[in-house]
Amino acid sequence: MPVRDRLPAGRTHVPSAGGSRPPGGPSDRHHEILDAALELFATVGYGGTTMAQIGDRLGIRGPSLYKHIASKQELLVEIVTGMMTELLRRQQAALARGGDVSERLQRITAVHVQYHAEQRYEAFVGHREIDSLEEPHRTHILDLRREYESRFRELVQEGRELDVFRTASDRWSSYAILDMGIGVSAWYNPSGSVSPEQLADTYAELALRMLGAERDSANTREG
Amino acid sequence: MPVRDRLPAGRTHVPSAGGSRPPGGPSDRHHEILDAALELFATVGYGGTTMAQIGDRLGIRGPSLYKHIASKQELLVEIVTGMMTELLRRQQAALARGGDVSERLQRITAVHVQYHAEQRYEAFVGHREIDSLEEPHRTHILDLRREYESRFRELVQEGRELDVFRTASDRWSSYAILDMGIGVSAWYNPSGSVSPEQLADTYAELALRMLGAERDSANTREG
Q: How distant is the Cα of A177 from the closest Cα of chain B, in angstroms?
A: 7
Q: Judge: B2–A149 Cβ closer than 8 Å, yes or no.
A: yes
What pLDDT is recorded for position A6? Answer: 39
Rounded to an integer, what distance in angstroms lies between the CA atom of residue B213 and that of residue B206?
10
Place B73 in a pLDDT band, splitting at 50, 70 and 90: very high
What pLDDT is recorded for position A204? Answer: 97
Rounded to an integer, what distance in angstroms lies between the CA atom of residue A123 and that of residue A126?
5
- The pTM of this model reads 0.85
3-state secondary structure chain A: CCCHHHCCCCCCCCCHHHCCCCCCCHHHHHHHHHHHHHHHHHHHCCCCCCHHHHHHHHCCCHHHHHHHCCCHHHHHHHHHHHHHHHHHHHHHHHHHCCCCHHHHHHHHHHHHHHHHHHCHHHHHHHHHCHHHCCCCHHHHHHHHHHHHHHHHHHHHHHHHHCCCCCCCCHHHHHHHHHHHHHHHHHHCCCCCCCCHHHHHHHHHHHHHHHCCCCCCHHHCCCC
Tell me which of A20-29, A130-139, A209-218, B210-219 is least confident: A20-29
What pLDDT is recorded for position A145? Answer: 96
Comparing B175 with B5, the larger pLDDT belongs to: B175
> pLDDT per residue over A50-96, tens digit each?
999 999 999 888 788 888 888 999 999 999 999 999 999 999 999 99
Model ipTM value: 0.84
The CATH number of the structural domain formed by B72-215 is: 1.10.357.10
- A-proximal residues of B, 103-132, CB under 8 Å: 127-132
A142 CB near a chain B CB, below 8 Å?
Answer: yes
Residues sharing a CB contact under 8 Å with residue B169, sequence separation 6 or more, in sequence order: A202, A221, A222, A223
> pLDDT per residue over B141-173, tens digit each?
999 999 999 999 999 999 999 999 999 999 999
DSSP state of B49: -
Q: Judge: B206–A173 Cβ closer than 8 Å, yes or no.
A: yes
Comparing B211 with A70, the larger pLDDT belongs to: B211
Nearest CA in chain A to B181: A176
What pLDDT is recorded for position B223? Answer: 44
Tell me which of A130-139, A168-177, B60-69 is least confident: B60-69
The CATH number of the structural domain formed by B13-68 is: 1.10.10
Q: Average pLDDT in the B11-32 region?
A: 55
Least CB-CB distance to B46: which of A45, A127, A223?
A45
Rounded to an integer, what distance in angstroms lies between the CA atom of residue B212 and that of residue B189?
30
Q: Average pLDDT in the B36-43 region?
A: 92
Which CATH architecture fits A72-216?
Orthogonal Bundle (1.10)
Q: Which residues of A touch B148 (CB under 8 A)?
A: 1
Q: Which residues of A touch B222 (CB under 8 A)?
A: 168-169
Mean pLDDT, rounded, of chain A: 86
Place B215 in a pLDDT band, splitting at 50, 70 and 90: low
- A-proximal residues of B, 36-65, CB under 8 Å: 43-49
For an interface test with A, give the residue of B206, B214, B220 to mutate (most A CBs within 10 A): B206
Is B217's pLDDT higher than 60? no
> pLDDT per residue over A105-119, tens digit each?
999 999 999 999 999
Q: How distant is the Cα of B21 from the closest Cα of chain A, in angstroms?
A: 30
Is B49's pLDDT higher than 60? yes
DSSP state of B134: P
Q: Judge: B168–A48 Cβ closer than 8 Å, yes or no.
A: no
Q: How distant is the Cα of B24 from the closest Cα of chain A, in angstroms?
A: 34
Is A24's pLDDT higher than 60? no
CATH class name, domain A20-68: mainly alpha
Q: In chain B, where are the structural domains located? A: 13-68, 72-215
Percent of chain B with pLDDT over 90: 68
Q: What angle do CA A138, A4, B115 make, to 5 degrees?
A: 75
Place A14 in a pLDDT band, splitting at 50, 70 and 90: very low
> pLDDT per residue over A28-53, tens digit each?
888 999 999 999 998 888 988 999 99
Rounded to an integer, what distance in angstroms lies between the CA atom of residue B26 and that of residue B112?
32
Is A223's pLDDT higher than 90? no
Least CB-CB distance to A212: which of B187, B219, B223?
B219
A192 CB near a chain B CB, below 8 Å?
Answer: no
Q: Which residues of A touch B47 (CB under 8 A)?
A: 44-49
Rounded to an integer, what distance in angstroms lies between the CA atom of residue A37 and that of residue A55?
9
